[in-house]
Amino acid sequence: MTTALVFPGQGSQSVGMGKALAEAFPAAREVFERVDAALSQKLSHLMFEGPESELTLTANAQPALMAVSMAALRALETGAGFRVAKEAAFVAGHSLGEYSALCAAGALSLEDAARLLRLRGEAMQKAVAVGEGAMAAILGLDFGAATRIATQAASDLYLSGAICAAANDNGGGQVVISGTKDAVERAMELAKLAGAKRAILLPVSAPFHCPLMQPAALAMETALKDVKIGRPRPPLVANVTASAVADPKEIRQNLVAQVTGTVRWRESVDYMSAKGVTRFIEVGAGKVLAGLIKRIADGVAAISVGTPADVAAFKTSAETSTKQ
């Protein structure tokens, strides 16, 4: 069985996430303590106790989700004997999850990942004034159709400086578009006319993964220059290329491009599946990626590990497989 580890992005956060892991596994608790120290903030208290309004702020949600992913991974390692470098063929993450993936593969330190994601969240929030941008999920159209609609919407409103782009190709007929609010709303209308099942405005604070994020990309380019990035073991399947990369220089460039570029999740899963991956383990908060993967790739197993019960179930499954 060939395995890939995948790490969730923004939207998977919830108050209470990681608390049970911290209580059950000393290695998980240490992750939260190190992240708190790196950020000079009791981020773990915000994760465990809320309030939700503060946890969902981009600057908090991004490092918080990474922390939960790494805590779950440490629990998987110490509680179930999982070894990333030996047992995973690839790592991948959805948007901010790419930083979790790099940390899991030993290419980025936990502290650097936390600080970079705090800066990334702040820069993405500042890039566009609140209320000027928007994102929407288009359901029931493929990526090509959604991209054409985004382009048409921006063209229809070009005099107002409208921007609209496909931000996330999530697979299973789900594409997220991003841009100026007027263009996104126009694209939603066009999508419905083109036969989309639904077009849903998302409750986000900024239009991620589109050209409006260029100021944030420049901020990340500056920040990443001073951060040590090693070779990930196993290699990373990057959002912007949907292919494996291990060269630190290329990883650095991709992390900058990722801020404004499309998250090519469907293609990333297809790539790993074509390379022989038959089991995907989503590590961290929620079960979003496992659900998407099951809709993208036929015949693969996709499980989520984010709680002590999940770790116990994984251990039992691994022991049963070894005995057979």
Catalytic residue among 95, 100, 205, 268: 95
Are 281 and 4 a contacting pair, CB within 8 Å? yes
Q: How far is Cα 163 from Cα 151, in angstroms, rounded to an integer?
A: 8
CA dist list (Å): 106 to 10, 70, 159, 211 = 22, 11, 47, 30
| DSSP run (H or E) holding 273 | helix 265-274
Alpha-carbon dihedral angle through residues 135, 137, 219, 157, given to the nearest 10 degrees = -50
**Cα 248 to Cα 221: distance, rounded to the nearest angstrom:** 14
**Cβ(137)–Cβ(200) under 8 Å?**
yes
Rounded to whole angstroms, the Cα distance separating 235 from 265 reads 16
Q: Which pairs with CB-CB distance under 8 Å and at least 24 residues apart come from 224-232?
A: 224/116, 224/252, 224/255, 224/256, 227/108, 227/112, 227/116, 228/109, 228/112, 229/102, 229/107, 229/108, 230/106, 230/107, 230/108, 231/107, 232/91, 232/101, 232/102, 232/105, 232/106, 232/107
The whole-angstrom separation of Cα 311 and Cα 324 is 20
Q: Residue 15 burial by CB count (10 A; 0-12/13-18/19+): exposed, middle or buried? A: middle
Catalytic residue among 94, 209, 273, 304: 209
CB count in 10 Å sphere of residue 83: 9
95 a catalytic residue: yes
Active site residues: 95, 209
